[in-house]
Amino acid sequence: MTLDPDIPIKTAPEARSPFDLLWLDPSVMTLRRIAGLTRLTLDGDRSWLRATPARAFPISDPDHYIGFLDGLGNDIGIVRDPSELDETSRQILAEDLEVRYFVPVVQRVVSVKLEFGTVYWKLETSRGPRDIVVRNMRDNLQELSAIRVLITDIEGNRYDFPDINTLDPESLGVILRHQ
Amino acid sequence: MPLLQSTPDPVAAALAARKPAPSKAHESGIDAEHARRSIIFETDISGGVFGKEWLVVENGHLYVFIPNGGGPAETRHALPISEIRAARAEMHIGNGSIEVDTADLTIPLVRFTYASAAEATLVARWIQALVAGDDIRDETVEPRKRLCARCGRVLPEGSDICRACIDARAVMLRLFRYLAPHKVPASLSVVVIIVSAVLELVPPWIGGRIVDAVVKSVRSASTDMSQIYYYVGIFAASRLGMSGAMYAQRRLNAYLGARVLMDIRVSIFERLSVLSCSYYDKRNTASVMSRITNDADHLWDFLTDGIPWFMSTLLAIIGTSTVLFSMNAPLAALLLAPGVFVFLLNRWFQPRAKRRWQQVWHRISKMYAALGTTLTGIRVVKAFAQEERERERFRERNVNVFRASYEANALWATYWPILGFIMASGYLILWSYGGYLVIHRVMTVGALTAFGGYLMRFYTPFQEFSRVIDWSTRSLTAAERVFEVLDTEPEVRGAPEPVTPTVWRGAVEFDKVGFSYDGATRVLDDFSLSVRPGEMIGLVGHSGAGKTTLINILCRFYDVSDGAIRIDGVDLRDLDMEGFRHRLGIVPQEPFLFPGTIRDNIAYANPGASVEAVMEAAKAANCHEFVLKFPDGYDTQVGERGQRLSGGERQRISIARAILHDPLILILDEATASVDTQTEQLIQEAIQRLIANRTTFAIAHRLSTLRNADRLVVMEHGKMVELGSHDELMEIDGVYAGLVKIQTEVNKLRAV
C-alpha cells in the first residue's frame, strides 16, 4: 500500500470543518492504558478516554488506515501508518485490534463432510482448532478475490480462507462448487 | 451450551479451594439456594485463541477461572458483586466481551465468539440486575445451532426435522392416507399398472415364437401362414392392450396426483391461516410459501410419477427375470453380470453429475443476477461511462458458466460410451453363449431372439435404480416439511369457553403487562394503563420503545407474557375473539390493498355493505373525490396489476375501510408517516371523523398529529415513562417536551 504524501496532515482541529477527515500524525499522538481503557492523546493536550481503533479496510489492508472512535462512537481521526507510532502506543493498538477483530484464518482443513446440504468442517486456524457447521454454503460464502473466501458458520462466526488453492482437493471442491 | 447447569470439575475444585467446606448439616439447603442464585458461563475464547474460560457468580462474588492443565482452575478475577458498578456485554467483530466497571476501573472479564453472544448478553444483564439488587429473571436463549436429538446432526433452519432421521415408513403411510378418499381410482390404477407390466412381457416372447414358426416352416418346406397370423394377432392385441393401459394409467395418475396435491395444499393453507403471528416471525414468508409451492410440487412428482414408476419398474424386473430364468437359467444368470456393472457405473456417475450440474445452475443464476443489476442500473452505468467494465464483468460471468457447463457436459462424454459398451457386452454374452446353446440344440433360435428382445428391458431398471434413493429422500423430506406445518399448533388459541362482555363499551385495561418475542429480551415491561371508552391515547417514543408491540398484543396477534389485558372487564385470553375482532379496526402504517376493485377493498371487512355505505365511508375518509376522478370510479382495479395509487390515496382507502367497519376500538399505526404535508392534512381530517366516539390508540412520530389525544403515553425501553395530556407533559418538561422541542427545530429548518 503506497501512501499519498500530497495530502497534508492537519492536526489543528479548530481549523477544519466537521466534514473533513482528521489525519492523525503518529509523531504527536500517543495511546496509553488508563484504568483499563485506552486514552488517545494528541499534541500532548487534547485527549480522549475510551478510544476504540477500527480498521478502515480490515480485509484488503488491515495494517494501514486505523480510525479511532471515542466512547460515544464519534470519529476522532485516522492514522495512515500506525507503524510510525511510539513503542507503547503500537503495543496498545495491537492489543486493542486483537480484541476487536476475531476472524480466525484457516491454516489447514482437517476434514470436510457434506451431508444434506450442510457442511461440517474440522479446521486448524490462527486462533486454534475449531469444528464448524455451515448451512447453505452458497449464501454463507463470500468471495473476496479469486483465491480468498470468507465463510460464515451457523453461529455467525466468520472464517478466512486466505488461499483456497493451498487446500486439499476435497475442500477446494466444496468451495468451488458453491462459488 | 455456554450456560452450564452443573459446575465443571476444575471450577468446582477452584471454588472449593477458596472457601472452607460447608458443614454437612447445611449442605443441602445451601446448595439449593446456590443453584438458584449462581451463574456459570463457559466462554469459547481463552488467551486470544479458541478455548474455555468460566465466568462464575456465586456467594455474592464474581469469579473468572481459566483452565490450568487438568487441575483446579486458576482464578483470574475474584470480585465482590458489591464492588461492581455496572456490567455489559460489548460486541466487536467476530467476538465480544463482558466488561464490568468498578469505582475506578473498567475490567474486561471474558471474551466470547458469536456462538455464545446471546447467552453472554443475558449474563451481563443478570450481573447488572444483581448489582442493582434485582432478582435474576428466569430467561432462556434459543440456540442458533440446534442439533437433532437422535443423531446429533444440525437441524435445518426453521424446522425440527432431521433429514437423516426421517421415519420413512410413517411418512409414506401418512401420505397414502391421502389416497384413502379416492379408493376406486387408486385401486384401478394399481390394477392397470399390473396389467401393463404383464402385457409388456408379451412382444419379445411373440417375436421368439414367430422366428421359431418361420424356421420350422422353412425346414418342413410348408407355406402355411396360419400360425404366423395367429402370433401376429396376439402381438397386435397385446400392443393395443398396452396402449389402452397406458392411456388409463396416465389419466388415473393425473387425476390422483392433482387431487391429492389439492387436498394437501388446502390443508396446508388452512393450517397457515390459523397459525399465530409468532409462527411467521420465526420464518421468512418465502420459506413458508415454499411449503405450498416447492414442497407440494415435489409431492406431486412423487405421487404422479414416482410411485407408479417405482411399481412398474419393480414389476418389470420381476417379470423379465422370471421369463428369462424360466427360458434358460444359466444364460439369464450370465446376463445379470453387465446389469451389475450398469448399476455400479450409475452409482459412481449420478452424484458427480448432480454436483456439476448444481454448479452450472448456480453460476447461471449468478450471471442472471449480474445482468439484472446492470440493466436496472443502466442509467448509472452510462452516466459514469462504465459500459466497458460492465461488459467485461458480464463476460467473466459467462466464461464461468461456460467452464462449468463444459465440464458437466464433458462428463456425459465419459458416461455414454462406457454405458454403451457395457450394454453391448450383454449381446456379446448372449450371442456367444446363446449361439452355443442353439447349435447344441439346447435352445431354439426363437428363444435366442426373445432373449435379445428382453435384454434392454432387463438393463434399464439397473440404470435407473441409483436415482431412486436420491429422489425418494427428496420426496420424503418434502412430505415431512409439509406434515410439520400441518402438525404445528397455534400459540395463540381461542378460549375453550369464550366470554362476551354484557355490553361492548370499549374500555381497555392493561394490567402489569410484560412481553417478550423470543423469551430473552423484554420489549414490554410492567405496563399498566386504564383507558375509558371513547378515549384517544397517543403513543409516543423512539422506534423500538415498544409502541408497536403494545398494539400487537392488544390485537392479540401475540399473548402477553405477564399480566393481563382486559376489554370491558374480560381478559383478552377468555374473550370471544371473533366478536372482539369485529369491533376492532386498524389503519396500518403500510396500507395493504388486495387485488380487486376499490369498492371491494373498502368493503373488505364487511363484504355485505351497500354501495351507498361504501361511498359514505369513502367521503368521510376524503377519498370520494379522487375515486370519482378515476375513469372506472369505484370499479377501479387496484393491487398488483391495477391502477397505481399514491401512498396518500392508499392510506385514505384504508381509513375508509376502517370507517365502514365501524369499530369500537381503533388503532392508528403511523397512519401519516409516508405522505407530504398537504396529504397529511386530508388524512388528518379523515382521521378526525373516524375517531369520534371510539377508543383510539394512535402511534405517530409527528407529534403534531397527536394534538387531539386525550392522553399521551411516552414509552422508553418497553416502559411507560410519562403519562398525561400535551399541556401536562409540557409542564413536566421531560422526555415528551424534549421530543417536541426537537421537532419544532426540525420544522423550522424545513420552513427555511
pLDDT at B322 over 60: yes
Residues B116 and B246 in one domain: no
8 Å CB contact between B622 and B684: no
Return d(Cα B644, Cα B375) in angstroms, integer.
Answer: 24
Instruction: Indicate whether B479 and B505 sit together in one domain.
Output: no
The residue from A65, A100, A135 where one domain ends is A100
- pLDDT tens string B681-708: 777 777 777 777 889 998 887 777 787 7
Q: Which three cell numbers stand for residue B710?
A: 386525550
Confidence of residue B77 (pLDDT cuts 50, 70, 90): confident
Q: Distance (Å, rounded) from C-alpha B91 to C-alpha B95?
A: 6
Q: Is residue A127 part of a domain?
A: yes
Q: From the CA of B448, how many Å to the nearest CA of chain A?
A: 46
Cell of residue B117, nine digits: 453472544
Query: Any residues with CB less than 8 A from the CB of B213 and at least 6 apart, and which?
Result: B227, B228, B231, B446
- Largest distance between two CA atoms of chain B: 126
Pair (B303, B447) in one structural domain: yes
Out of A58, A118, A127, the one facing B154 most closely (by C-beta) is A118
- The 10s digit of each residue's pLDDT in B253-262 is 888 888 888 8
Least confident of A36-45, A163-172, B134-143: B134-143
Q: Is there a contact between B666 and B694 (Cβ–Cβ < 8 Å)?
A: yes
Tell me which of B152 and B397 has the higher pLDDT. B397
**pLDDT band for position B22 (cuts 50, 70, 90):** very low
**Cβ contact (<8 Å) for A35 and B50?**
no
Please name the residues between 66 and 95 in chain A that touch chain B, using a CB distance below 8 Å: none
Three-state SS letters, B128-139: HHHHCCCCCCCC
pLDDT of residue B399: 92
Q: What is the pLDDT of residue B31?
A: 45
Name the DSSP letter for residue B116: G
Q: Is the pLDDT of residue A93 over 80?
A: yes
Average pLDDT of the residues in B34-41: 66
| pLDDT in the model for residue A89 | 92
Distance CA B634, CA B611 (A): 9
Q: Is B274 on the interface with A (CB under 8 A)?
A: no
On whether both B203 and B319 belong to a single domain, the answer is yes
Q: Which residues of A touch B94 (CB under 8 A)?
A: 101-104, 157-158
- CA B234 to chain A, closest CA, distance in angstroms equals 50
Are residue A19 and residue A93 in the same domain, yes or no?
yes
Chosen for mutation from A38, A102, A131 (greatest number of chain B CBs closer than 10 Å) is A102
Q: Is the pLDDT of residue A2 over 50?
A: no
Kindly state whether residue B336 falls inside one of the protein's structural domains: no
B548 and B455 within one domain: no
Q: What is the mean pLDDT of residues A125-152?
A: 86
Task: Specify whether A20 is located in the same domain as A83.
Answer: yes
Helix (H, G, I), strand (E, B) or coil at B459: helix
- C-alpha torsion sign, points B395, B396, B401, B406: positive
Residue with cell 476487536: A100
CATH no. for residue B573?
3.40.50.300
A101 at B interface, C-beta within 8 A: yes
Q: Identify the domain containing residue B35 by its residue range.
A: 9-131
pLDDT at B494 over 70: yes
Q: Are B219 and B104 found together in one domain?
A: no
Pair (A20, A39) in one structural domain: yes
Region B455-483: what's the mean pLDDT? 75
The nearest CA of chain A is from the CA of B117 a distance in Å of 9
Look at chain A and report how many structural domains it folds into: 2
pLDDT at B640: 63
Both ends of chain B: CA-CA distance in Å?
Answer: 57
Our CA-based measurement puts residue A12 at a distance from the nearest CA of chain B, in whole angstroms, of: 31
**Any domain includes B722:** yes
Please, which pLDDT band fits residue B82 given cuts at 50, 70 and 90?
confident
| Chain position carrying cell 369500537 | B664
Asked if A100 has any chain B CB less than 8 Å from its own CB, the reply is yes
Is A169 an 8 Å CB contact of chain B? no
A121 and A153 together in one domain: yes
Residue B675 binned pLDDT confidence (cut-offs 50, 70, 90) = low
> Which of A81, A100, A119 is a domain's end point?
A100
A–B: how many Cβ contacts below 8 A? 82
| pLDDT of B23 | 42
Give the cell for residue B654.
384504508
Q: Is B114's CB within 8 Å of A157's CB?
A: yes
Q: Which of B48, B117, B154 sits opposite A98 (nearest CB)?
A: B48
Answer whether residue A60 is part of any domain: yes
- Nearest to residue B669, comparing CAs of B553, B593, B589? B589
- Whether residues A76 and A112 fall in one domain: no
- Average pLDDT of span B376-395: 86
Residues B268-307 pLDDT 10s: 888 888 887 777 766 666 667 777 777 888 788 787 778 8
pLDDT tens digits along A142-154: 888 888 989 988 8
Q: Does any CB of chain A come closer than 8 Å to the CB of residue B153?
A: yes
B190 lies in the same domain as B301: yes
Residues A71 and A115 in one domain: no
Q: How far is B477 from chain A (nearest CA, A)?
A: 10
Please report whether residue B365 resides in a domain. Answer: no
Confidence (pLDDT) at B81 = 84
Domain membership flag for residue A44: yes
Q: How confident is the model at residue B21 (pLDDT cuts 50, 70, 90)?
A: very low
Confidence check: pLDDT of B649 > 70? yes
- For residue A32, the surrounding DSSP H or E stretch is strand A29-34
Instruction: State phi, psi for B671 to the nearest 5 degrees.
Output: -65, -20
What's the mean pLDDT when you consider all of chain B? 82
State phi, psi for B731 to the nearest 5 degrees.
-60, -45
- Report the range out of A83-97, A137-151, B496-510 with the highest average pLDDT: A83-97
Are A68 and A77 in contact, with CB atoms under 8 Å apart?
A: yes
Does B50 sit within 8 Å of A127, measured CB to CB? yes
Tell me the C-alpha distance between B62 and B78, whole Å. 6
Is there a single domain that holds both residue B203 and residue B324?
yes
Q: Which of B96, B112, B131 is the last residue of a domain?
A: B131
Chain A interface includes B286 (CB < 8 A)? no
pLDDT at B752 (0 to 100): 54
pLDDT category at A11 given cuts 50, 70, 90 is very low
Domain-embedded: residue A46: yes
> Does B1 fall in a domain?
no
Which residues are B300's β-sheet partners?
none
**Helix, strand, or coil (residue A164):** helix
* All three cell numbers of B125: 444483564
Which residue shows C-alpha cell 381497555? B508
- Do β-strands B106-113 and B95-101 pair in parallel, antiparallel, or remain unpaired? antiparallel
Q: Are residues B110 and B198 in the same domain?
A: no
A5 falls within a domain: no
Residues A71 and A118 in one domain: no
Q: Using a CB–CB cutoff of 8 Å, tell me whether A177 touches chain B.
A: yes
pLDDT for A21: 82
| Contact list, A36 vs chain B (CB under 8 Å) | 105-108
Residue B616 has pLDDT above 80, yes or no: yes
pLDDT band at A10 (very low <50, low <70, confident <90, very high): very low
Domain membership of residue B546 (yes or no) is yes
CB of B492 closer than 8 Å to CB of B557: yes
Residue B249: partners with Cβ closer than 8 Å, 6 or more residues away: B189, B192, B193, B196, B308
How far apart are alpha carbons A66 and B94 in whole angstroms? 18
CATH number of the structural domain spanning residue B310? 1.20.1560.10
pLDDT-wise least confident of B146-150, B331-335, B461-465, B674-678? B674-678
Give the pLDDT mean for B201-213. Answer: 88
Residue B517 lies in a domain: yes
Shared domain for A84 and A136, answered yes or no, is: no
In the predicted model, is pLDDT for residue B32 greater than 50?
A: no
Number of domains present in the structure of chain B: 3
Co-location of A94 and A135 in the same domain: no
C-alpha A87/C-alpha B147 separation (Å) is: 48
DSSP for B349-389, please give it. Answer: HHHHHHHHHHHHHHHHHHHHHHHHHHHHTHHHHHHTT-HHH
| A50 in a structural domain | yes
Supply the pLDDT for residue A65.
92
Query: Which of B57-71, B110-124, B155-169 has the weakest average pLDDT?
Result: B155-169
CATH number at residue B47: 2.30.29.30
DSSP for B151-214 reads T-PBPPTT----TTS--HHHHHHHHHHTTGGGHHHHHHHHHHHHHHHHHHTHHHHHHHHHHHHH
What are the C-alpha distances in Å from B369 to residues A145, B67, B372, B374?
A: 19, 50, 5, 9
With a cut of 70, say whether residue B482 has pLDDT above it: yes
State the virtual CA torsion across B19, B22, B26, B29 in degrees, nearest 10: 40
Please write down the long-range contacts of B65-69, taking CB distance under 8 Å and 24 or more positions apart: B65/B10, B65/B11, B65/B14, B67/B10, B68/B10
Strand partners, B49: B46
User: Which of A126, A87, A135 lies closest to A104, judged by CA?
Assistant: A126
Rounded to the nearest 5 degrees, what angle is found at the Cα of A41, between the Cα atoms of A8 and B48? 105
Q: Residue B362: its chain A contacts at CB < 8 A?
A: 138, 177-179
B511 and B482, same structural domain?
no
* Three-state secondary structure of B559-584: CCCEEEEEECCEECCCECHHHHHHCE
Q: Do A155 and B355 touch (CB under 8 A)?
A: no
Residue B387 lies in a domain: no
* Interface touch A157/B105, C-beta < 8 Å: no
Domain presence at residue A58: yes
Q: Could you give the 3-state DSSP secondary structure of residue B95?
A: strand
Q: Does residue B20 fall inside a structural domain?
A: yes
> CB under 8 Å to B642, separation ≥6 — which residues?
B595, B636
HSE, side-chain direction, 13 A CA sphere, residue B731:
6
Taking chain A, what is the end-to-end CA distance rounded to the nearest angstrom? 28
pLDDT at B402: 92
Q: Across the interface, do A36 and B106 touch by the CB < 8 Å criterion? A: yes
Query: Does residue B4 register a pLDDT over 90?
Result: no
pLDDT digits (tens, 9 = 90+) for A29-45: 999 988 888 999 888 77
Burial class (CB in 10 A: 0-12, 13-18, 19+), B644: exposed
pLDDT of the residue at A160: 92
Q: Which residue has 459412481 as its cell numbers? A: B348
Could you give the C-alpha distances from B652 to B591, B684, B689, in angstroms and in order?
9, 10, 12
Task: Judge if B197 and B284 occupy the same domain.
Answer: yes
Tell me which of B112, B113, B357 to substitute to probe the interface with A (most A C-beta atoms closer than 10 Å): B113
Q: For residue A41, what are the domain limits?
A: 13-100
DSSP codes, A40-109 = EEETTTEEEES-EEEESSTTT-TTS-EEEE-TTS-EEEEES-GGGS-HHHHHHHHHHHHHHB--PBEEEE
Residue that the C-alpha cell 422366428 belongs to: B211
**Residue A53 banded pLDDT, cuts 50, 70, 90:** very high
Same domain, B44 and B113: yes
> Are A20 and A95 contained in the same domain?
yes
Angle between helices B329-376 and B445-487 (to 10 degrees): 40
Q: Does A110 touch chain B (CB under 8 A)?
A: no
Q: Give CA separation, A63 vs A80, A82, B335, B408, in Å.
A: 9, 7, 69, 42
Q: What residue of A is the nearest CA neighbor of B146?
A: A154
A88 with A132, same domain: the answer is: no
Closest Cα to residue B215, out of B228, B203, B231, B201?
B228
Pair B213, B227: CB distance under 8 Å:
yes
Secondary structure E strands in A103-148 = 106-115, 118-125, 128-135, 141-143
Q: Are residues A79 and A148 in the same domain?
A: no
| Average pLDDT for B415-433 | 87
pLDDT for position B139: 62
State the pLDDT at residue B645: 82
Smallest Cβ–Cβ distance between A157 and the set B92, B113, B355 belongs to B113
